C-alpha cells in the first residue's frame, strides 16, 4: 500500500472513507482503491463490463487534503466507458467514470457513491413508533359541483366555492392563480365530482378528480451524515414508507466546519451543496412514493429538521456566518416556503415547513428533539443528547430549559479511527473482553451471533469482518478500560503485552488487536485519544449546563440520533460520555429529531408549540464559557477525573483510579484536534 511518495507519484484521496495514498501516474483508480482497501464494488474484475465500480472525480481545490484536483488529473473517457455507456441496458450517469477504465494522471479526490460500495451504508433512521395527536395541516373535502348551463353564467371556480360552502361550510378560501390552469380539466375528468385539499390557513392546495381518500406528507431529517425521509398518511398518521441516504455533501467535507471552509475557498460552494442536498431529497421522495405505491403529486406537505448549517444550505442560504463567532443565523424562526421554491419535484402547491433553530450551533433538529421528548412538560430534570458530528445537548424541565452544542467531530462515526467505518454489514458493533485472558469476542452488523459462537464464521463469510463502527469503538474502549488494558487517563498499558499477544508495540505506544483475520482490526493509542477528545467535549458541554442550572445530577437521560440509538447506556457511562445516573433512567430516544419532524407534519398545532418553546430556551455558547476548558480537561479521564459515578458503580466493577497527574492540563479540544495525526478511516 503506497503511503509514501516518489517524484512521479500522484496523491489520491477517496471519500467518504478518507483513505489516501500515493500511486504511480497511470494507475487505474480501481487498482488504487483496492490497494487502500476502499470499498468499491466490482464483479467483472476490472474489464469494464459490470459497471459497478463507478466513481466521481471531485474537481477543485481541497485544502483539507492539500490537493488541487484538476479535471485533467484523470484520463479522458476511454473506449471501454464509451462502449458501456452506449449499451441500452446499462447506465453511466453524468459525471461518473468507471474506476477500472480511468487512470490517475495527477493529484485527485475520488468520491465513491453509495451504490458503488459493496458494504452500503445502513442508514439507521427508521421511523420510531410514537403516539401523535393527528391534527392534519391539510384536510380533504369531497364535493359535487353543479354543472354549467346556458341559464347560469357563473364560472367553474365560483360554482366550486359554492359547493364547498354548501356542503362543508367553508368560506373565504384562497385559490392561487395556478389553480385556474387545471381547474376545468379536473372538474370534467371527475364528472363534476372532486376532492379538494385545503390547508389549515384556508389555502386550497389541490383539486383532484373523483373521490380521494387521503393525501401524503413527507417528514425529512437532513443530517450532516445521513438524510432520512418518512412518507406519512396525513389523515391517519401512518408511516407508509421510509428511506435514507448518505448526505452527498460529505464529499465537500465530513464535518460541518469543513463544509463551511469549502464555501470559504469556493465562491459557488454553497450553491453546489444546496443543489446536491435538494437532489437527494427529490430522490428520497421518489423512493418512498414508489415503495408506498403513491404518486409524487400526492405529497402536499413537507417538514424539515436539520442542524443550522444543513438548515441554511437547504434553504439556499450561505453558511459562512456560522463558521465563526458570533455564529449568527440568517433566521432562527420557522420557515414556511413552497416546495417549488426549493426545486422539489412535488405537487406544484406543496408547502414546506422548516422547524425553528435555537442558536448558531443548535438547530431545527434540536427543536424536533424537544418537540418529540417534551422535557418542557416534565417535572424530572431531563438530559437530551443527540450524539453526532456535532452533539446537541438540552437540559432541564418545565421550569427551565438550557441548550448547547459541543464539537465532538466524526470519531464516533468511525472517521479518524484506524480501522473505523460507518455502520454497514461486516462492521464490528458490539465488543466484550475477558477480564482474565484479555481475549475479545464481538458481534458484527448483519449477524446475530457472537464471534466465539458456533456458526459465526459461516454466517459472516459473505460480508466478512470489515472494520469497527461507532458503537463498537465505544464498547471496545470501555471494555479495554474495565479489563485494565487502558489506564484511567487513556493510555494502553504496555506491561500487559507479557500477559496477552493482543497487546502489541506500535512505535512508542501500544495497540490492542481486536481481530486478526483477512482484515487486521485493532485499536491504536491514537484511536483512544480521538474518542477521548470527542467524549470530553461532549461531557464538558453537559457539565456547563448542569453548572448553569445549579445541579449535580440528572433524573433521566435520553440518547437521541442514529448513533445514540445504538449505544448501550452502560458503556456510554463507563466511557464518560454522559454523567452518572440511574441506568434504568437512561434510554434511547431513537431518531427524536425525525419524530419531531413527523409531529410537526401531522399536527399543525405543534408548530406553534415548538415556536413558543424555543423562544424560552436559554442558549449556552460553550466557545465563550471560561469553565469549558477545565471541564474538558477533567473529562478526558475514564470515566472522569473528578466526578463520581455511584450509580454506575452499583452495576459495574470499575478499576481503581490510576490517573497520572497533569496529563491533560494543556489540552484543548481544538489544539488536540490540530495536533492529532490523520489516519485512514
Helices (H), 292-435: 308-315, 364-373
- Mark residue 455 as left, alpha or beta (left: phi above 0; alpha: psi -120 to 50; beta: remaining): left
pTM: 0.81
Sorted by sequence, the CB contacts under 8 Å of residue 189 that are 6+ apart come out as 209, 210
Strand, coil or helix: 332: coil
Say if 138-209 and 373-410+531-591+619-673 have the same CATH topology. Answer: no
pLDDT beyond 80 at 664: no
Report cis status (omega within 30 of 0) of the bond before 16: yes
Average pLDDT in the 565-592 region?
A: 92
pLDDT, tens only, 376-420: 999 999 999 998 777 899 999 999 999 999 877 767 776 678 898
The 10s digit of each residue's pLDDT in 200-247 is 889 999 898 988 878 899 999 998 888 999 999 998 889 999 999 988
Class of domain 373-410+531-591+619-673 (CATH, top level): alpha beta
| DSSP-assigned letters across all residues of 486-506 | B-TTS-B-GGGGGT-TTEEEE
Spatial distance between the Cα atoms of 191 and 186, rounded to a whole number of angstroms: 9
Tens-digit pLDDT profile for residues 592-616: 999 999 999 999 999 999 999 999 9
Cα distances from 441 to residues 433, 460, 471, 475, in angstroms, run: 6, 14, 15, 11
Judge: domain 216-354, CATH 3.30.70.100.
no
Please state which CATH class domain 9-116 belongs to. Answer: alpha beta
3-state helix, strand, coil in the chain (%, to 5): 35, 25, 40
Q: What is the per-residue pLDDT across 61-118, written as a single tens digit (0 to 9) for each?
A: 888 788 999 999 999 999 989 988 888 877 788 889 999 999 999 999 999 987 787 6
Helix (H, G, I), strand (E, B) or coil at 139: strand
Structure confidence at residue 119 (pLDDT): 57
What b/e string do you get for 79-97 counting C-beta neighbours within 10 Å, with b at 16 or more? Answer: ebbeebeeeeeeebeeebb
> What is the 8-class DSSP label of residue 130?
-
Q: What is the mean pLDDT of the chain?
A: 88
The 10s digit of each residue's pLDDT in 136-192 is 899 888 899 999 988 888 999 999 999 999 988 999 999 988 788 889 999 999 999
Sign of the Cα pseudo-torsion (591, 597, 603, 609, in order): positive
> What 8-state DSSP symbol labels residue 425?
T
E-strand stretches of 177-331: 193-199, 203-209, 216-222, 226-233, 239-246, 299-306
Residue 531 phi/psi, 5-degree rounding, is -70, -40
Q: How sure is the predictor about 126, in pLDDT bands with cuts at 50, 70 and 90? A: low
Exposed, middle or buried by CB within 10 Å (0-12, 13-18, 19+), for 151?
Answer: exposed
Domain spans, the chain: 9-116, 138-209, 216-354, 373-410+531-591+619-673, 419-523
The CATH number that domain 138-209 falls under is 3.10.20.880
What is the structure's pLDDT at 68? 92
Higher pLDDT, 319 or 177: 319
Q: How far apart are the first and last CA of the chain?
A: 15
Amino acid at each position: 500500500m503506497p503511503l509514501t511518495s516518489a517524484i512521479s507519484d500522484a496523491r489520491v484521496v477517496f471519500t467518504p472513507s478518507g483513505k489516501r495514498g500515493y500511486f504511480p501516474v497511470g494507475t487505474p483508480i480501481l487498482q488504487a482503491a483496492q490497494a487502500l482497501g476502499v470499498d468499491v464494488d466490482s464483479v467483472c474484475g476490472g474489464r469494464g463490463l459490470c459497471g459497478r465500480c463507478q466513481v466521481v472525480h471531485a474537481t477543485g481545490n481541497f485544502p483539507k487534503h492539500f490537493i488541487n484536483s484538476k479535471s485533467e488529473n484523470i484520463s479522458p473517457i476511454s473506449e471501454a466507458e464509451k462502449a458501456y455507456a452506449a449499451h441500452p441496458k446499462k447506465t453511466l450517469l453524468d459525471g461518473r467514470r468507471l474506476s477500472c477504465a480511468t487512470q490517475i494522471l495527477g493529484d485527485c479526490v475520488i468520491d465513491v457513491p453509495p451504490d458503488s460500495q459493496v458494504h452500503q451504508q445502513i442508514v439507521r433512521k427508521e421511523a420510531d413508533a410514537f403516539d401523535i395527536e393527528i391534527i392534519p395541516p391539510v384536510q380533504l373535502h369531497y364535493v359535487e359541483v353543479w354543472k354549467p348551463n346556458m341559464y347560469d353564467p357563473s364560472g367553474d371556480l365560483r360554482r366550486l366555492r359554492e359547493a364547498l360552502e354548501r356542503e362543508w361550510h367553508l368560506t373565504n378560501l384562497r385559490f392561487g392563480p395556478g389553480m385556474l390552469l387545471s381547474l376545468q380539466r379536473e372538474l370534467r375528468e371527475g364528472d363534476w365530482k372532486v376532492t379538494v385539499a385545503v390547508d389549515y390557513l384556508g389555502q386550497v392546495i389541490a383539486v383532484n378528480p373523483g373521490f380521494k381518500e387521503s393525501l401524503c406528507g413527507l417528514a425529512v431529517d437532513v443530517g450532516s451524515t445521513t438524510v432520512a425521509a418518512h412518507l406519512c398518511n396525513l389523515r391517519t398518521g401512518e408511516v407508509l414508507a421510509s428511506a435514507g441516504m448518505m448526505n452527498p455533501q460529505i464529499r465537500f467535507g465530513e464535518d460541518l466546519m469543513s463544509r463551511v471552509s469549502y464555501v470559504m475557498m469556493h465562491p459557488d460552494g454553497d450553491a453546489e451543496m444546496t443543489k446536491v442536498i435538494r437532489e437527494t431529497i427529490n430522490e428520497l421522495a421518489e423512493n418512498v412514493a414508489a415503495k408506498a405505491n403513491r404518486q409524487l403529486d400526492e405529497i402536499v406537505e413537507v417538514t424539515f429538521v436539520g442542524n443550522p448549517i444543513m438548515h441554511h444550505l437547504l434553504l439556499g442560504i450561505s453558511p459562512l456566518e456560522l463558521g465563526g463567532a458570533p455564529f449568527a443565523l440568517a433566521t432562527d424562526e420557522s420557515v414556511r416556503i413552497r416546495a417549488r421554491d426549493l426545486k422539489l419535484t412535488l405537487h406544484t402547491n406543496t408547502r414546506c415547513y422548516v422547524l425553528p433553530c435555537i442558536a448558531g450551533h443548535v438547530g431545527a433538529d434540536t427543536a424536533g428533539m424537544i418537540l418529540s421528548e417534551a422535557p418542557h412538560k416534565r417535572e424530572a430534570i431531563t438530559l437530551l443528547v443527540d450524539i453526532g458530528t456535532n452533539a446537541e445537548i438540552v437540559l432541564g424541565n418545565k421550569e427551565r430549559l438550557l441548550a448547547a452544542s459541543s464539537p465532538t467531530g466524526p470519531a464516533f462515526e468511525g472517521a479518524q479511527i484506524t480501522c473505523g467505518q460507518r455502520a454497514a454489514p461486516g462492521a464490528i458493533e458490539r465488543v466484550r473482553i475477558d477480564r482474565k485472558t484479555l481475549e475479545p469476542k464481538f458481534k458484527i452488523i448483519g449477524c446475530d451471533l457472537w464471534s466465539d459462537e458456533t456458526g459465526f464464521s459461516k454466517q459472516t463469510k459473505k460480508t466478512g469482518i470489515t472494520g469497527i463502527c461507532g458503537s463498537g469503538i465505544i464498547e471496545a474502549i470501555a471494555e479495554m478500560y474495565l479489563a485494565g488494558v487502558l489506564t484511567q487517563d487513556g493510555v494502553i498499558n504496555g506491561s500487559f503485552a507479557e500477559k496477552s499477544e493482543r497487546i502489541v508495540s506500535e512505535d512508542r505506544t501500544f495497540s490492542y488487536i481486536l481481530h486478526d483475520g483477512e482484515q487486521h482490526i485493532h485499536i491504536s493509542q491514537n484511536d483512544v485519544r480521538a474518542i477521548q477528545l470527542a467524549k470530553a467535549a461532549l461531557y464538558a458541554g453537559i457539565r456547563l449546563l448542569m453548572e448553569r442550572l445549579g445541579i449535580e445530577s440528572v433524573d433521566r437521560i435520553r440518547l437521541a440520533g442514529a448513533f445514540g440509538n445504538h449505544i448501550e447506556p452502560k458503556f456510554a457511562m463507563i466511557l464518560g460520555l454522559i454523567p452518572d445516573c440511574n441506568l434504568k433512567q437512561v434510554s434511547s430516544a431513537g431518531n427524536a429529531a425525525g419524530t419531531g419532524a413527523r409531529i410537526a407534519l401531522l399536527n399543525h398545532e405543534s408548530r406553534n408549540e415548538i415556536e413558543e418553546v424555543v423562544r424560552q430556551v436559554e442558549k449556552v455558547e460553550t466557545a465563550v464559557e471560561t469553565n469549558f476548558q477545565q471541564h474538558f480537561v477533567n473529562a478526558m479521564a475514564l470515566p472522569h477525573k473528578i466526578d463520581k459515578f455511584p450509580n454506575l458503580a452499583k452495576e459495574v466493577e470499575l478499576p481503581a483510579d490510576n490517573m497520572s497527574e497533569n496529563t491533560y492540563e494543556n489540552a484543548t479540544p481544538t489544539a488536540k484536534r490540530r495536533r492529532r495525526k490523520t489516519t485512514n478511516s
